[in-house]
Amino acid sequence: MNATRLLVAILIAFVVVFATDFVIHSIWLMPDYNATKSLWRSESEMTAHFPFMLAAQFLFAAMLCVIWALGFAGRGLGTAIVFGLFMGLFQQVWPIATYVVMPLPGTIAVKWILSGVLQVILVTIVAALVYRPRSGAA
């Protein structure tokens, strides 16, 4: 495993997660969140908890890149897309469970699931492009 390339992949994946989360939640889903304000923390509370969000995004990017590097690197973009699809579906247990335990509109859960799967596929493609074995390595 190449630690330098892995670190670069993790950092770039984190930036992609941060940027796509912004588009998903602050732009696309904001009207849905505003319509259900009683379910969410206030803006000041969310701001106070923002470091935890950054930590979660970084942990996600790091673990996805490490798993890719340890078991799938060098297998091409087709494998990255399938891996991203499976990891994305695996990750979508939480919106389903949240929908069950919270009075959450189904449209929000569906949007979380769809955007989450697409986001993981994108992040995995990025990881695959950045973390490539040296030529001649398997």
Reported confidence tier of residue 132, pLDDT bands at 50, 70, 90: confident
Q: Please write the tens of the pLDDT for every residue from 60-113.
A: 999 999 999 999 998 999 999 999 999 999 999 999 999 999 999 999 999 999
Weakest-pLDDT range from 59-68, 119-128, 129-138: 129-138
* CA dihedral of 57, 5, 67, 16, whole degrees rounded to 10: 30
Q: Is the pLDDT of residue 134 over 90?
A: no
User: Of 63, 51, 53, which Cα lies nearest the Cα of 120?
Assistant: 63
How much is the pTM? 0.91
Q: Which of helix, strand or coil describes residue 135?
A: coil
